[in-house]
Structure 1
Amino acid sequence: MEEQYTISDPRVLKAVAHPLRVRLLGLLRGDGPATASELGRKVGESSGSTSYHLRELFKYGFIEEDADQRDGRERRWRARHRYTSWDAVELSASAEGREALRIIHLRQAEMVGRVMEEYGQAGWSEEWADVSGMSDHLLTLPPAALREFKDRAEELLRDLVARHAGDPGARKVHVWLGAVPRTSQEEES
């Protein structure tokens, strides 16, 4: 799997920003290859609907068929990239790009909201409850300081992943400015 897919075309960003496509791509990245039927069961959609949206993700280069794990007559799909990024400066130069950015940012916020709704302190160990949650900071910083923060946070995350690879206590977590473990419902789906 490639590390990153960088989008410069607002139409491509709008295509991936569809609510169901965001979820399907996230599941393929987080849980690995799956068929349209398997994904449909996870998201509560018909396999016809998920098939259509998977074909759209394929058309724009986000996913590919997993030929190594073909499931009889049904295609298995896998994500081509670990992350999607875009050049906000380039995209915000046009009205279409600004609209695409608005839509993708709304989808990101919806996803954070969905994960936080599914997360609850009950049922998690004290250790996980202690480190989970969200932070809200109101700071005064110039763009260069925010860039430094983003770059250093990314570097720190890469370092932590590498140092804790194989740790039996590790589990997938959602990380934004805060982090929460994936819900048991997501793990079982």
Structure 2
Amino acid sequence: MEEQFKISDPQVLKAVAHPLRVRLLGLLRTDGPATASELARKVGESSGSTSYHLRELFKYGFIEEDPERRDGRERRWRPCHRYTSWDAVELSATAEGREAVKIIHLRQAEMVRRMLEEFDVAEWSRDWVDTAGMSDHIVSLPPAGLREFNQKAKELLHDLAAKYAGDPEARQVIAWHGAVPRSTEEEL
């Protein structure tokens, strides 16, 4: 599996930004290969619907058939890449690109909301409840400072994943970080 799929075409970004496609791709990346029927049960959709959206993900190069694990008549799908990226500046050069970037950002926010809704503190130990969640920090930074924060956050997360690989208490964790500049009243 390749590390990343870098999107430069707004149509491709819009294709993956469909709410069900985002979920299906995320499940294949986190839970591993699956059939349309297996995914349909997980997301509460018909297998016809998941099958259609999986074919769309395949058409745009996000997933592939898993040749190592056939499941009778039904295709078993796997992701082609660990994650998807895009250059927001490059895509924002056109109205279509700006729309695609906006849509994918909103889908990402929806995914964060869904994950927080699914996190039931009654199901987790005190240590997990104490460390999970979100916080917000309002600071003043120039673009270079925010770029440095993003890079250091990514490096720290990779370092910690390597440090705790194999730890019996380790669980799959979805970590988010995001930041956008806030307009002041004078700028509005």
* TM-score (norm. length: structure 1): 0.92
Q: Which residue of 2 aligns with 1:158?
A: 158
Describe how 1:1-189 pairs up with structure 2 within 5 A: 1-177=1-177
Q: Using structure 2 for the length normalisation, give the TM-score.
A: 0.93
Identity of aligned residues (%): 76
Mapped partners of 1:96, 1:49: distance in 2: 26
CA contact (8 A) 1:134 1:177 kept: no
Alpha-carbon distance in structure 2 between the residues aligned to 1:129 and 1:49: 35
Larger Rg: 2
Unaligned runs of 5+ in 1: 179-189
Alpha-carbon offset, residue 123 of structure 1: 2.4
Shift of residue 11 of structure 1? 0.2
Segments ≥4 residues shifted beyond 2 Å: none
The CA RMSD measured in Å over matched residues stands at: 1.0
The unaligned stretches of length 5 or more in structure 2 are: 179-188
Alpha-carbon contact 1:135-1:177 (below 8 Å) kept? no
Deviation, 1:36, is: 0.3
SS of residue matched to 1:175: coil
- Structure 2 distance, partners of 1:10, 1:123, is 40
1:49 Cα offset (Å): 0.5
